[in-house]
Structure 1
Amino acid sequence: MKRESELEVLENPDALADRLLKSESYVERHKNLFIGIFVAIAAAVVGGFLYYQNREAKNAEALSAMFQAEYYFEADSLNKALNGDGQYAGFKSVAEEYGSTKAGNLANFYAGTILLKQGKYQDALNYLEEFNSDDLLLQARAYSLQGDAQLELGKAAEAASLYKKAAEHKANDYFSPQYLMKAAMAHETANQPAEAVDVYDRIINDYPLSAEVADAKKYKARAEGLAKK
């Protein structure tokens, strides 16, 4: 029946006109709704474009602001890199003002690294936890540095977990066994020899060609002896 009705509309001019009038009437009755939908879509598109433009502008500002701080970092003038020199901003202020940008995110990494070197472990941890990246090297490094901070704070088990997280972030044959070695040793520090044995085994089995294998075998024997006590 539906098929016949559609054919009638196509073949009968009066039926087609009636259908069009009904359609126009429907649109007329609901024009405010259609206008509202159109305005909402347009506003979303324009808003998204403006947000993207503003974010890119902010990121450019952040990159410019931290240029001198990066220079100080490379020159090992860590206090100026962190806090600025009175004329140029340091990583802390860039991270606080531009934290939502890529450059501001990177400033968190720099600030955490410096604070760790300065022995301010909890502050370092706070900044490093704010850093987030898909980068193969930097994100794994950030997890490892968090582990270093936790280890200095006397939280060896938490440190081991972070070292393993670093090893598992886009795992690779070069860096992963290094981070796993740190994890195993942190487990030993936490008096968790059985967990350390498991990690040494991972190095031996998963990365047999790595430079860490010889030490992993040696330390595994020691950890197994401690686990039996």
Structure 2
Amino acid sequence: MATYNKRGYKPKTKAEKEQNIEEGSTTAEVFNTLDETASKTEDFVAKNQKYIFVIIGIVAAVVLGYLGYNEFVAQPKQTAAMNDMFQAQKYFNEAVTGTEKDSLYNLALNGGEGKFGMLDIIEEYSGTPSANLANYYAGTAYLRLKDYKNAIEYLGNFKSDDEILAPLAKGNIGDAFVQLNQPEDALEYYEDAAEMRDNEYTSPMYLYKAGAIAMDLGKADKALTYFKRIKEEYPNAVEASTVDVFIGKAQVLANK
């Protein structure tokens, strides 16, 4: 059991005296060690003072350089990119909803009326979020124009954590591979797109496409898994309204 000595208490027995000596000795050793460590640290600092200041200066320069670059280069560059991208986005949106789709997609890609297109944004503002987004627009425009190789290239350059755009980019690459008659590649991208995010829009859409391609490839068991997931996990999705038919077909093929 632990005991605590009161202030002014004097040891009476030999054992208590020895314990006090021991404790005093241990305390002295601790303080001596601390003193030695402090002295060594001071000696190290004194001997290497020049190098320490150089390292501190480098770290400070890197931090200040990053802050300065972000404030005076990166942010203004992004602002300019967004401004120059506005007309190209307008062309793209008009192509999606309009009638003269091919000419509008070409304008979105190459620009018009003296304004930048998506390809100009990618080249002129490389490294900015706008240039990254322009890769998505460009890839999708090429897909609509049936230029599937360029679609795959530009969509592959697009990087995003967005809930919708990230899986859409993957899925669009899958669509391009379908048109290039490369179903195995298409299936891989559809599977990736379906698993990237869990939402009621992209997840069931790409599970459905993955299931359809899997059926064509003779992978009925895999297709059945995807169709059942739509039915069980996304019952309110558009794809769920017809999925029972595909489940039936997949079951027949899987049992052959």
Same fold (TM over 0.5): yes
Q: 1:205 to 1:20 in 2, by over 3 A?
A: closer
**Equivalent of 2:235, from 205, 208, 213?**
208
**Do residues 149 (structure 1) and 188 (structure 2) align?**
no
Q: 1:24 to 1:188 in 2, by over 3 A?
A: closer
Task: Tell me how far apart the structure 2 counterparts of residues 85 and 180 of structure 1 sit (CA, whole Å).
Answer: 38
**Do residues 56 (structure 1) and 89 (structure 2) align?**
no
Provide the aligned length of Structure 1 versus Structure 2. Answer: 223
**Equivalent of 1:133, from 160, 168, 175?**
160
Amino acid at match of 2:77: K
**Equivalent of 2:117, from 77, 90, 95?**
90
**Equivalent of 1:4, from 7, 15, 28?**
28
- Percent of aligned pairs sharing the same letter: 33
Task: Tell me how far apart the structure 1 counterparts of residues 171 and 159 of structure 2 sit (CA, whole Å).
Answer: 13
Q: 1:74 to 1:208 in 2, by over 3 A?
A: closer
Q: 1:228 to 1:32 in 2, by over 3 A?
A: same
Q: 1:2 to 1:78 in 2, by over 3 A?
A: farther
Amino acid at match of 1:220: I
Q: Which runs of 5+ in 1 are unaligned?
A: 11-15
TM-score by length of 2: 0.77
Q: 1:179 to 1:23 in 2, by over 3 A?
A: closer
What corresponds to 1:38 in structure 2? Answer: 56
Question: 1:75 Cα shift?
Answer: 2.6
**Equivalent of 1:74, from 93, 98, 103?**
93
Amino acid at match of 1:180: L
Question: 1:22 Cα shift?
Answer: 7.9
Q: 1:121 to 1:28 in 2, by over 3 A?
A: same
Question: 1:130 Cα shift?
Answer: 0.8
Q: 1:27 to 1:198 in 2, by over 3 A?
A: closer
Greater CA deviation, 213-222 or 115-124? 213-222
Q: 1:202 to 1:24 in 2, by over 3 A?
A: closer
Question: 1:50 Cα shift?
Answer: 2.6
What corresponds to 1:13 in structure 2? Answer: none
Question: 1:23 Cα shift?
Answer: 6.7
SS of alignment partner, residue 133 of structure 2: helix
Deviation beyond 4 Å, 4+ runs, structure 1 = 5-10, 19-26
What corresponds to 1:47 in structure 2? Answer: 65
Q: 1:5 to 1:104 in 2, by over 3 A?
A: same
Question: 1:30 Cα shift?
Answer: 1.7
Q: 1:9 to 1:217 in 2, by over 3 A?
A: closer
Higher radius of gyration, 1 or 2: 2
Q: Which runs of 5+ in 2 are unaligned?
A: 1-24, 96-103
Per-residue CA shift, 1:130-187, capped at 9, x if unaligned? Answer: 1111111111111111111111111122222222222222202343212211111121
The alignment yields a C-alpha RMSD, in angstroms, of 2.7
Task: Tell me how far apart the structure 1 counterparts of residues 33 and 227 of structure 2 sit (CA, whole Å).
Answer: 78
Q: 1:147 to 1:21 in 2, by over 3 A?
A: closer
TM-score by length of 1: 0.85
